[in-house]
Amino acid sequence: MEVSEPVLLILLSLAEQPRHGYAILQDTARMSDGRVRLSTGTLYGALRRLLDEKWIERFKERDNSRGKQAYRLTTEGRRNLQMEVARMKRLTRLAALRVARKET
């Protein structure tokens, strides 16, 4: 599965702790300094794909009196997120090397 920036932010939000949809929206906006503001349609479409791919799972919070659905990373999702972060680190190193080269 290709990981777009919004999906990466959703995964990073869930890597910290399980969250329900509205908390994910708030956290992704905070992580991006307000640059990325997900619509509910975008969020729930991404969550559906992540559920289908088994990167995240739904679970019931114990003290959830309002019936909000919470989500958390699966073991596979955390492993895939770690691989994506490693891929981004490699690309960032390559980009830094290429940009730092002087033109001849």
Q: What is the pLDDT of residue 64?
A: 58
Domain boundaries, position 60:
5-100
Q: What is the pLDDT of residue 101?
A: 83
CATH number of the domain at 55, please: 1.10.10.10
* 78/93 Cα distance (integer angstroms): 23
pLDDT digits (tens, 9 = 90+) for 72-87: 999 999 999 999 999 9
pLDDT digits (tens, 9 = 90+) for 9-62: 999 999 999 999 999 999 999 999 999 899 999 999 999 999 999 999 998 876
Structure tokens that stand for 35 in this block: 């640059």
pTM for the structure as a whole: 0.86
Cα of 3 vs its chain's centroid, Å? 8
* 55/65 Cα distance (integer angstroms): 26
Q: What are phi and psi of 43, to 5 degrees?
A: -60, -55
Q: What is the pLDDT of residue 104?
A: 57
Tally the domains of the chain: 1
3 SS3 class: coil
Q: What are phi and psi of 59, to 5 degrees?
A: -155, 160
